[in-house]
Amino acid sequence: MAFPTSRIGLNFLFLLIAFCSSPPATAKTLTIATASNFHSTLLKLVESFHKLNPSVRINISSGSSGSLYTRISMGAPYDLFFSADVDTPKRLDGQGLVKKNTRFTYAYGRLAFWAPGDNAKISVREMIEKHQGKLVIANPKIAPYGKAAEQLLKLYSKDSKKYQLVVAENVVQAHQYIKGGSVVAGFVSYSQLLLRGGQARGYIAVFDDKQLEQQVVLLSRSREVELALEFLRFIQSDGARKIIEDSGYRLPKAGGDV
């Protein structure tokens, strides 16, 4: 009785060992870290890049710029980093974690205030007052969009305790809280309100005096420098620039330096 059971067990073990051996390595893989606001746009860019380079595999990790900064300084194996600000790439550059002359501005992000369930025709300031009881922002300590939102609120009121803020991990999560209905209003990136064709419903205000300059860098630990440079050249091409603009960003001047 015991014998067949143990043989099955043994076979199972062999199967497991065979199964555990690592998957075959793909030819060329580019790993990109992106600030979460740019994730959906980057997916479109990657799709278009794939048409030119079908054999290349591209992995994307998204998060707040601050949390990605921590991962990169801890040795995360990313090739490119699309930040939502200038400070973070600059800091990495200062630490020698960036390949020389690869830091440049790829887009200007736009901070937006969104209240999907409200169509009142009033100014943003009144709108924010109206919803001061529960507003969501991205974590200002690690997310540039959250920081910009916080600065804006400080301009509106010296009393920092006045607004009850729900703090999301990053700007995509902030958007998700509003969209899911758990928070009525808050600050997101304008590009998120343009997803799936048209503009999202409800009250939208864009703060164009509060543009977020967003920079990209090629990280010095990259093992796919050629491919990474090719991708950087690609995102400066006319086709790519149109994708970025259509996704709700403003563009830097044409004619990059990479």
Partner 1 sequence: MFEPVLLSLQLATSATIILLIVSIPLAWWLANGSSIFRSVVWATTALPLVLPPTVLGFYLLLAFSPASGLGKLIVDWFGVQLAFSFAGLLIASVIYSLPFVVQPLQIGFERLDGRTIEAALSLRANWWVIITRVIFPQLKGAFLVAFTLGFAHTLGEFGVVLMIGGNIPGETQVISIAIYESVEMLDYAKAHLYSVGLLVFSFIVLFLTYARNSFSLKRKGE
Q: Shortest gap between Cβ of 118 and partner 1 (angstroms)?
A: 21
CA-wise closest residue to 234 among 89, 98, 47:
47
Yes or no: say if 82 and 211 are a contact pair by the CB < 8 Å rule: no
Q: Shortest gap between Cβ of 156 and partner 1 (angstroms)?
A: 28
90's tokens: 């600059």
Question: 232 by DSSP, 3-state: which?
Answer: helix
Yes or no: say if 103 and 217 are a contact pair by the CB < 8 Å rule: yes
Contacts with partner 1, residue ranges (CB under 8 A): 2, 6, 13, 16-17, 19-20, 22-23, 29, 31, 36, 39-40, 57, 59-63, 71, 73-77, 170, 172-173, 175-176, 179
Looking at beta carbons only, is 75 or 255 nearer to partner 1? 75
DSSP string, 159-223: -TTSS-EEEESSHHHHHHHHHTTSSSEEEEEGGGGG-SSSPPSSEEEEEEEEEEEEEEEEBTT-S
CA-wise closest residue to 35 among 208, 225, 226, 192:
192
For the four alpha carbons of 124, 125, 131 and 135, in that order, the dihedral sign comes to: positive
Q: Shortest gap between Cβ of 154 and partner 1 (angstroms)?
A: 27
Looking at beta carbons only, is 22 or 119 nearer to partner 1? 22
Looking at beta carbons only, is 152 or 174 nearer to partner 1? 174
Distance CA 232, CA 32 (A): 11
Run of H or E residues at 135: strand 135-138
214's tokens: 């967003």
Looking at beta carbons only, is 35 or 128 nearer to partner 1? 35
Q: Shortest gap between Cβ of 237 and partner 1 (angstroms)?
A: 25
Q: Shortest gap between Cβ of 16 and partner 1 (angstroms)?
A: 5
Looking at beta carbons only, is 60 or 206 nearer to partner 1? 60
Looking at beta carbons only, is 57 or 154 nearer to partner 1? 57
Q: Shortest gap between Cβ of 123 and partner 1 (angstroms)?
A: 29
